[in-house]
């Protein structure tokens, strides 16, 4: 019986150490309750009572259950649960199965640039391998699949039959297979790019006048993130904070200073991005007065290290009427004051420059100039 949030084990960084499936006492595995699965891979089962049941809004409810995600900050548990069940009892088993699914991704940096890798599911009964995907080289060829917690996978190089990686599904996760090589020398050799940067800046200023319709007085607003969305995004970032890939920018313009600092990405899966997108859309619609919006794109997560820059730019006029910038995490050095804060710079509708620091979420109208200098999103 768990009666307080503090009873849920945490890892060394103070995040939930496990996936959890929690039910109130009336729904425990007993007559009139919910039939608990006998073996739920990578998800602990518990009964939430007292303050914990109140925090999770499970008091006096049955049938009811919540699923919590590993890596979640305790302070987000009240608002962010990976899933919540309150349907008919005969639907509980199907819900548990759904809560056992995660998205796994693979990026191939292990084969030759013109080669491929094979992603194989390992049959737990006999160890045989079942082909899942052919994985081409590089970050643009990232492959995603929906799998079940506990499933095991093997990655082989068909050219040599060598096993280059093995992994088990334990969370939503992107896997970097192999090591990403350095940029070609012709991309990084010293060069005066000041004229190209000035030309790009002038081009973006001209583009900012193309869109005539505006929705708000200033064109941006700084607001706190809703916990149910922020908790999910931060949990994914935390669980994948070491799974970094350099974004493929070579020769594609100067919007990020890729020749000086690697533009780093932590790629999220399509299903999770869709979930975030659908949750954020009503917030944007409310901000612009209830006008219905169409979901077009979600980009990121990008990590800006010391020295990284993003030029002021205008998003695509045809698809980005309204957008959001979310600050997921930042270095403790920023919050402690030991280094200068990095700023998000926005030109408002009156062309005044506005600077925001330590933002959770900013809502800029996309057809105006905005840029990030060393901002962690």
CB 207 within 8 Å of CB 138: no
The Cα 350–Cα 88 span in angstroms is: 55
Ranges of residues in the chain whose predicted pLDDT is under 70? 29-32, 38-39, 250-251, 332-341, 350-377
Residue where the block lists tokens 């009811």: 64
Q: Which residue from 364, 36, 338, 57 is spatially nearest to 372, judged by alpha carbons?
A: 364
pTM for this entry: 0.89
Across the chain, what does the average pLDDT equal? 85
| pLDDT score recorded for residue 299 | 83
| pLDDT score recorded for residue 375 | 23
DSSP 278: H
DSSP assignment of 145-200 equals EEEETT-EEEEEETTTTEEEEEEE--SSEEEEEE-PPPPPHHHHS----HHHHHHH
Domains along the sequence of the chain with CATH: 5-99 (no CATH), 101-178 (2.60.40.780), 185-373 (2.60.120.620)
């Amino acid at each position: 019986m768990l009666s307080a949030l503090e009873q849920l084990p945490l890892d060394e960084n103070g995040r939930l150490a496990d996936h959890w499936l929690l039910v109130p006492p009336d729904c425990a595995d007993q007559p009139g309750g919910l039939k608990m699965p006998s073996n739920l891979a990578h998800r602990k089962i518990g009964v939430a009572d007292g303050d914990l049941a109140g925090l999770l809004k499970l008091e006096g409810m049955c049938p009811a259950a919540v699923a919590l995600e590993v890596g979640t900050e305790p302070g987000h548990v009240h608002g962010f649960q990976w899933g919540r069940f309150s349907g008919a009892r005969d639907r509980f088993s199907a819900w548990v199965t759904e809560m056992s699914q995660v998205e796994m991704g693979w990026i191939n940096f292990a084969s030759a640039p013109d080669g491929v890798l094979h992603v194989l599911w390992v049959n737990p009964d006999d160890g045989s391998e079942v082909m899942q995907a052919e994985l081409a080289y590089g970050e643009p060829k990232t492959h995603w699949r929906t799998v079940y917690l506990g499933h095991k996978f093997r990655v082989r190089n068909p050219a040599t039959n060598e096993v280059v990686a093995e992994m088990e599904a334990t969370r939503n996760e992107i896997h970097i297979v192999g090591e990403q090589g350095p940029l070609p020398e012709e991309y990084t050799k010293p060069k005066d790019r000041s004229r190209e940067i000035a030309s790009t800046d002038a081009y973006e200023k001209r583009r900012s006048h193309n869109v005539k319709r505006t929705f708000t007085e200033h064109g941006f607003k700084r607001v706190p993130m809703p916990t149910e969305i922020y908790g999910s995004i931060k949990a994914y970032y935390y669980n994948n904070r070491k799974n970094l890939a350099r974004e493929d920018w070579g020769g594609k313009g100067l919007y990020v200073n890729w020749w000086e600092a690697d533009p780093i990405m932590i790629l999220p899966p399509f299903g999770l991005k869709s979930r975030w997108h659908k949750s954020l859309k009503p917030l944007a619609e409310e901000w612009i007065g209830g006008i219905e919006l169409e979901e077009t794109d979600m980009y990121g997560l990008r990590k800006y290290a010391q020295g990284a820059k993003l030029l002021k730019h205008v998003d695509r006029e045809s698809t980005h009427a309204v957008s959001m910038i979310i600050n997921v995490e930042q270095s403790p050095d920023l919050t402690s004051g030991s280094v200068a804060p990095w700023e998000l710079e926005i030109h408002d509708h009156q062309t005044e420059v506005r600077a925001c620091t330590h933002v959770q979420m900013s809502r800029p109208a996309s057809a105006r100039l905005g840029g990030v200098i060393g901002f962690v999103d």
